[in-house]
Chains A and B, each alone.
Chain A
């Protein structure tokens, strides 16, 4: 088996989520099975342009459509933004170690995300809601710079209506009519309804936000090793060969992207790693 070779996928849906964020629904054309765990990612290949790592959003066992939510920030993601339904791309994966869904069984779960960190984390929420009896209380916290950056607003409203689910939203800059918190998402921790001893936290977003969130959750009593972070680094091969994603001795692409806080804490926040 050649681990570098993509499979062909067809764009079956395209959704604009916000000014620079869009979702692609992809279906593999080879009919071969594909299975992934929440928090894993795929390498999406745009013909003539290159590959980019994108986390898998959907966790729907009844559908063969793989949803990827992408922000157009670079050469390849801007190219992916131009795709239309029916276009073909390459896809290989899934890669990496995903969220600790097994360790979270029977526990309350806090999901803290910032910006587009909601995309790699939404699979956690789908998974818990799909296996509702297996998990306790679910707290969903999402922070954005500007309320315009908040995608899936209707989805958050729907989750907030569910029993045993809290949704807390924060924006640094809010448009009139915003009912969420104005400020940092980490300021919302005093509103959490949780029993620290039975809680596990999963964080995804800018590193500065994840560091503050980990410190804040630890301060209210969560154990260090029950706080998980999804890391982002330059990834070109996704199989631990190209070397770009190294964080100390860890290859983020294969040893992560999800790490227990103690695994990476010594280097977290050290400029240059």
Chain B
């Protein structure tokens, strides 16, 4: 399934058409509201030709260019997460009859399969981590239904942002697995590799020709260059012991003095899974929707327990977030919960950088407990 073919740039529309013919709702990157967002696409003209992104701590800006390339940006605030684990979703509805009896019905799930064109390696890795959380063990029916139908067209990243560190976490910039198709974008078209049987059938339906040795070498060189250009990294892929040995490190107070506890980092994080549940009753009280909504360990309610707060201070909340993301994920799912996408750095209004904080807390030899 790993034979490479080449799809000329002017034939990319055929990919959208083939996927739509097969019943997929096609999603892809579009420049909207000043950011790359995964939205419905029907036409390649909707893709962000020539658009690039400048990212740095607390800053995200798109810029136009003359390149014909459609995927010459790193990422936007969304990963695949909002398409699989919805930001707000009704789980079930309770209906009360005139006699007081209750009946419960699961909310219907839109079963139309999604195809995402332009998924990044980091986001595919994050998707696999969310699969571990929502599908393995107790299965979330809505997530699982959407995940089953998902077709992913990865585009290997060649334009990492200044905030990216996927090479350090081992999750990019090359999409290693878990895609149906993977594309390498060159100036005149795309090297196409199938990663699944269904991906191969789609690839077979595209007007491709054999990729040349030069095209393959160019694609590999661009990905290798993207890895080499990344400057940020985490001190280690497993910081569990280091973090939990430094729960009283003075740096936690330092970062708490900068952190606004706004929760932007958890909203843009492609692996954060916390959500709150609440009831939304109808005005006449006969029915009530049981709704879940993304929650954040930075929120007041997250650690609330009948009259007291498990994490009353921002220090506790930031420490919960980081010790979970880089530490306890290992216990829960066998690896770090960070895929190196850098979103939490970019979208933090005060530019807190998880790689800098991890280095400050774990980088010293003596444990540094205050």
Contacts and interface: CB of A to CB of B under 8 A. Distances in A.
A241 B130 CA distance: 10
Interface in A144-161: none
A246 B276 contact: no
B133 interface: yes
Nearest to A237: B277
Interface stretch (A42-50, A97-105, A210-218): A42-50
Interface of B: 91-92, 94, 96, 100-104, 106, 133-134, 137-141, 244, 247, 273-279, 281, 285, 288, 290, 292, 295, 297, 301-307, 310-311, 313, 315-317, 319-320, 323-324, 327-332
Which 4 pairs of residues, A with B, have the shortest CB-CB distance? A249-B331, A272-B316, A243-B274, A249-B328
25 contacts: A4-B91, A4-B92, A6-B104, A7-B104, A8-B103, A8-B104, A47-B94, A49-B279, A86-B100, A88-B101, A233-B310, A236-B275, A237-B275, A240-B137, A240-B138, A241-B133, A242-B274, A242-B277, A243-B273, A243-B275, A246-B324, A249-B330, A250-B331, A272-B317, A272-B320
Interface in A76-119: 77, 86-90
A87 B247 CA distance: 48
B83 to A, nearest CB: 18
Contacts of B100: 86-88
Contacts of B102: 8, 47, 88-90
Contacts of A248: 244, 323, 327-328, 331
B96 A47 contact: yes
Interface string A156-197: 000000000000000000000000000000000000000000
B277 to A, nearest CB: 5
B318 to A, nearest CB: 10
B302 A234 contact: yes
B96 A244 contact: no
Interface string A37-60: 000000001011111000000000
Interface in A16-70: 45, 47-51
Contacts of A4: 91-92, 106, 290
Contacts of A233: 305, 310
Contacts of A45: 94, 290
Contact of B295 (A2, A87, A243): A243
A8 B328 contact: no
A133 interface: no
Contacts of B319: 272
Nearest to A51: B277
Contacts of A87: 100
B94 A241 contact: no
Given A8-B102, A51-B277, A272 B310 contact: yes
Nearest to B133: A241
B96 A2 contact: no
Contacts of A219: none
A264 interface: no
B316 A234 contact: no
B103 A48 contact: no
B138 A234 contact: no
Contacts of A250: 331
Contacts of B316: 271-272
Given A49-B288, A243-B273, A248-B244, 5 more contacts: A4-B91, A47-B94, A88-B102, A90-B94, A90-B102
A241 B279 contact: no
A48 B277 contact: no
B101 A50 contact: no
Contact of B277 (A3, A47, A236): A236
A250 B329 CA distance: 10
